[in-house]
Structure 1
């Protein structure tokens, strides 16, 4: 189920125009989740909108987020979906916290529009 859930969320983020989506396989590294998805939004409003989009689509699929943090501020939103943790950042905040480095994951190539 966690791989299917991860794929669903990736599609939702793509639909919402999330940028630089990275997936971290946490299997065997921690017990908090099987996958972590990290993505960027262009602004606070875009980050909050991405979070709302994922939450709403998951609800329609019968999946309820266990926890949601930071949605009002829109700098860094964390969605706990059980086996999948989603981090949504503004680019500057993502660069500052650099979760990819902490989990030793290569950064996705920057896409310029």
Structure 2
């Protein structure tokens, strides 16, 4: 009897990239992956993005949750889904922040974590 090969366990960076691309598929804007693993022991990466309305933010969050669940990667915690201004989804090694643009500007997470290596995620059609 042969055993099925072990499936590839995605790295935290691969999970962050997957989440960023899921957000992009729902037209999230200003998507950034911050590598914070050298700055904190709490998580490895932040994925930060913006949505234009409550409905838009809900669509982004729902897409991330649905597709990650299909990949058998479940969130440990979720906050902010009730008011849809700043939704935080904690996948332990990757923490996702989905903001209304003005709320994102107010809190300035990118400035707070300014020492993090930052990767911008853009649609391949963007220049």
State the TM-score, normalized to the length of structure 1.
Answer: 0.90
SS of equivalent to 2:92: coil
Is 1:41 matched up with 2:51?
yes
| Cα RMSD after superposing both structures | 1.3
The partner residue of 1:91 within 101, 106, 110 is 101
SS of equivalent to 1:89: strand
* Runs of 4+ that moved beyond 2 A: none
CA contact (8 A) 2:17 2:33 kept: no
The partner residue of 1:5 within 2, 15, 38 is 15
- Please list, as runs of the form range in 1=range in 2, the aligned pairs for 1:51-62 lying within 5 A after superposition: 51-62=61-72
CA contact (8 A) 1:48 1:72 kept: no
The partner residue of 2:34 within 24, 29, 42 is 24
Q: Which residue of 2 aligns with 1:74?
A: 84
CA distance in 2, matches of 1:65, 1:77: 13
Structure with the largest fraction of helix: 1
State the TM-score, normalized to the length of structure 2.
Answer: 0.80
Structure 2 residue ranges without an equivalent (≥5): 1-10, 121-127
Structure 1 residue ranges without an equivalent (≥5): 109-113
CA distance in 2, matches of 1:26, 1:100: 11
Q: How many residues align?
A: 107
